[in-house]
A and B are shown apart, each in its own frame.
Chain A
Amino acid sequence: MAVIPSIRAALSRARTAAWLGWQVEGNWADPVLFSIYILARPLATALILAIMYSTVRAHGADPTVFVGFYVANAFHSYVNTVLVGMGWVVFEEREEYETLKYVYASPVGMFTYLAGRSLVKFTLATVSVVVTLLVGWFLLGVRWDWATVQWLPLAASIAAGLASTLFLGFLLAGWSLVLTRSAMVVLEGVTLASYLLCGVIFPIDLLPRPLQAVALGLPFTWWYEALRRFLAGHGTHGVMQRLSDTQVLLALGGASVVFAVLARWGYFAFERRARALGRLDQTTLF
């Protein structure tokens, strides 16, 4: 009955949260500093990749492999900025601004709030993806054949990948509610682990067996494989090579759904735990 007005109210609140996000992360006085802030990480990684692969190529490796990893690394900005960023929002609101309890006890709702706050992060990540790809294309020779791009599967996999980014962001934000000072370690850890586990900069075949199993359970591993196949035109060798495009898409879809369900359940479980422990307003750092 009152669905439309309540959706409108939620949208208006999300817009306010997005506005706050822009003030906090985007609206800096100095555009040069700001560009460095959003581009430093992806470009630095891109450069490391370029150096790494030029060394490998000197030893006769397949040059198309580099293109695939370059693309995956560019898109990994979403995980770095949005997913992990949602955890950082909780951490900063509690420890630095000390506003988390006021936001939490207001009718805004953490879902709406976090969704709004992540909108700016999403925009920044998109800028970073585009710039990294442009730098790759024009400066590093990271090119693909536009004629072989498979647009529909590409769009589907990007949609699934972004949805997983958001859902896992909620899960990580929930976890951050429970953690105190250790949230910093966890968030940095997640950033690092995602690089290692998802086939961002090297194929998951190089991982030890148990970690490879973990990697195959994560939606991002499949997302990046899908990007390599449908955009760059070449998948990775090894484990992935045996799978058809359809199988990769199905695995990505399956992992995304599983994590969506897990995130929904997990976020609320974490929130209840945080409220039981009295963590919502517990500052430990400043």
Chain B
Amino acid sequence: MVSSSEARVPAVETRELRRVFKGSRGSPDVVALDGVDLRIEHGEVFGLLGPNGAGKTTCIKILNTLLYPTSGEARVAGHDVVRDSVEVRRRIALVSGGENSGYGILTVRECLWMFSQFYGVPSAEAGPRVNRLLAAVGLSDLAKTRINRLSTGQRQRMNFARGFVSDPEILFLDEPTLGMDVNAARELREFVTRWVRERAGRTVLLTTHYMAEADQLCDRIAIIDRGRVLACDTPAALRRSVEGGQHVELEVMGAPEGLSDVDGVAVTWGAPHPDRGTHTMKLRLPDGGRLPLLLRTLEERGVAVRGVSTRETSLEDAFIAIVGRGLDDGEAPK
């Protein structure tokens, strides 16, 4: 047996991965994955972004040996998920957010301990590790509480901790912070970052709809839609890949009705401010240097500018641009 960390096999590799769900009662078949090629190296935190129904969960299920692909190949730590399920299961763990799973009758600590035993963690290691994880997700005080007494968010934090009890080589997080409060989500993100940094070669595959989360956590991101990878790169490179420029928001008064462009730059309008009677004008300038010129033009037209704010292209802009563009004129992945 080749240890996956010594040989240079990727942590996750899929080739032409395809999954079709049979349509029920006359409805057409659903192509959830349509030829996905991914290569995730050991030590990476890799993000899978895509709109609802893009195929992210389907991909994760296949990699977790819960679902067969229709065709194509998927390997985890060099082991084929179909032929070598047992080897794959030894190395992985899965956390799905937004779920209410758990044996209500067990206490939080018992649940984590039990899963550590299913993974064969020696008892001497399991105890302290469970305690550390409970502290990390802020459940130390609830360790002896039965799961059916937990709030939804607390239950989710317990499930999040469960993903780490086996200290897995490759961890799959499917929308792990879904439905968590802002603080809890931030603590868990920091925990993931620390967890990966402190252990050489640990890999995380993450899906999320929170762009900031992906931006903060991921070394690389694949954007997928309708089962196809539209782009795969670092967050910074993805931002650069879409038309850059500066996003400008102006709070103005006295703009002429129906003004749709200024100096050839398209304008979108927000609703009027209820108290101040101002309007919000949004536009994207190809380069920041044009802002003074634009303000002068507005002044000449009798528009009073009360406030100006600008920001650079975000991952969200990149996401929307890439998904909106689709595969037709987008660059092929890799």
Contacts and interface: CB of A to CB of B under 8 A. Distances in A.
B103 A99 contact: yes
A17 B114 CA distance: 8
Interface stretch (A104-112, A159-167, A202-210): A104-112
Nearest to B22: A277
Contacts of B137: none
A19 B65 CA distance: 26
B68 A23 contact: no
Given A27-B105, A99-B101, A281-B61, A107 B120 contact: yes
Interface stretch (A8-16, A120-128, A226-234): A8-16
Nearest to A15: B117
B89 A105 contact: yes
Given A105-B92, A278-B66, A280-B67, A24 B103 contact: yes
A237 interface: no
B99 interface: yes
A242 B118 CA distance: 51
Interface centre among A9, A23, A24, A27 (most CB of B within 10 A): A23
Given A23-B110, A102-B94, A106-B119, A276 B68 contact: yes
A101 interface: yes
Contacts of A23: 103, 105-106, 110
A138 interface: no
B65 to A, nearest CB: 6
Contacts of A245: none
A103 interface: yes
A186 interface: no
A119 to B, nearest CB: 15
Contacts, number: 79
A101 B172 CA distance: 13
Contacts of A102: 94, 101, 115, 162
A97 B94 contact: no
A272 B82 CA distance: 10
A106 B115 contact: yes
Interface string B82-122: 00001001101110000111111110001000110111100
Contact of B94 (A16, A20, A105, A275): A105
Interface residues of A, number: 29
Interface in B312-326: none
A275 B94 CA distance: 17
Given A97-B103, A102-B101, A107 B66 contact: no
Contact of A98 (B93, B99, B120): B99
Given A97-B101, A102-B162, A105-B94, A19 B68 contact: no
A278 B100 CA distance: 19
Nearest to B86: A107
Given A27-B105, A97-B103, A9 B120 contact: yes
Contacts of B110: 23
A107 B115 CA distance: 10
Given A19-B114, A99-B103, 5 more contacts: A13-B118, A16-B118, A20-B114, A98-B101, A107-B90
A23 B67 CA distance: 30
B105 A24 contact: yes
